Amino acid sequence: MMQIGFILIIRMNSSSGQKGIYIMKVTDIKTFVVDCFRTNWVFVKVYTDAGITGVGEGTLEYKEKALIGAVEHIRSYLIGKDPTQIEKHYHDIYRDAYWRGGVVLMSALSAVETALWDILGKHLGVPVYQLLGGKVNEDCRIYVNGWFSGACEPKEFAEKARSVVDRGITAMKWDPFGKSYLQISNRDLDKAICCIAAVREAVGDKVDLLIEAHGRFDVPTAIKIAQEVAPFKPMFLEEPVPPNNLEALKAVREKSPVAISAGERLYTRYDYNELFHLRAADYIQPDVSHAGGIMELKKIAAIAEVNYIPFAPHNPSGPVANAATLQLAACCPNFCILEIMYSDVVYRSAVTDENLVYENGCIIIGDRPGLGIELNEAECLRHPYVEHNLRHYTGALTDIRPPENAFYFGERKKEDF
């Protein structure tokens, strides 16, 4: 007898007539590295002897080969084990890494952990958010990134911003600071402020602007930038200083007239513990692909909740990471807003069966089991690894999409109701 929906499945032994306990086992883990123009998506797929598979994403910009090696180490540990013991596996893998943390190990662990949640949700026939307490949000507000692709001058940013708002988008983010590092000249700062002013004029006061700094300024420069952008009422200024000194981030926040967001390059609740202790940010931005996976982000969000800090996940990567982050948007009471890429390579829709629907500036959260997404392995193999490098200091910051790209989520139609 086999009763679907339970982890322990009872089967009759044909030779003895006795009943035995069957526990699902992991049989393999594979990585799929997919070129997506500005970087490579790194998807991880976990296979089981029950025929159920799970997917996760650890897209690590520009260090993909190191990530693949880290996944291989986790594979050696996980083969033959019960995929539903997610907390135990996370604990043991993290504990048994003598050199704990770091973006490579944590991205590998995040991807595998996410895939295990996908397996468990599919096995029980429920979305992952249902296993984490159920929905508190039916949809989630989004802000778009990448909408500015190819723009260089303020008027070009303004034109692109108008087309974004015409699609019903209510919040947008970009980095207007060129290739400056640590300091910025008055000339370049003036151009950045002109760019922000042009976009604000183009979209009006009802659209939220979020200003990205990519963690590249020193403390006095970051404070000066915060003061200069304040008249345009941004929702927040993101990562104004490099991520490896939270005291510096605190120093900026204490003198900034605008809210400060940070956290995409912090890993695990242990890193976040210091940020919360210092009260160094107004919004937190952990990334499900790097900070430890679904349960770790749920824990980080819970700590933020008791500190009355909004949860605004970092999410500029691929479709699997987006699906995982939507599970968290569904079940975290202090969820605020979700980053999402405005457009992508034209084959994004072929790599998975992603089906995003939005209305009124929000993505509708679905109810498919697990993460609600499946990977097309054959399509992944059609777009193999291509080496890409960081654009931020080369003058090519806005070259984020190929000339041919696609808007990949659409408005809810009447038949969807």
Q: pLDDT tens digits for 343-370?
A: 999 999 999 999 999 899 999 999 999 9
- DSSP for 401-413? S-SSEE--EEEPP
Q: For the chain, what are the domain ranges?
A: 8-127, 130-416
Active site residue 314: yes
CATH superfamily of 8-127: Enolase-like, N-terminal domain (3.30.390.10)
pLDDT in tens, 272-309: 999 999 999 999 999 999 999 999 999 999 999 999 99
Q: What is the pLDDT of residues 199-248, one digit of tens each?
A: 999 999 999 999 999 999 999 999 999 999 999 999 999 999 999 999 99
pLDDT band for 410, please (50, 70, 90 cuts): confident
Q: What is the CATH number of domain 130-416?
A: 3.20.20.120
Computed over every residue of the chain, the mean pLDDT equals 94
The whole-number average pLDDT for the span 53-69 is 95
Whether the pLDDT of residue 142 is over 50: the answer is: yes
Catalytic residue among 89, 290, 314, 383: 314
pLDDT > 90 fraction of the chain, expressed in percent and rounded: 90
412 contacts 364 by C-beta, under 8 angstroms: yes
In the chain, what percentage of residues exceed pLDDT 70?
A: 94
388 in catalytic set: no
Among 89, 214, 290, 383, the active-site one is 214
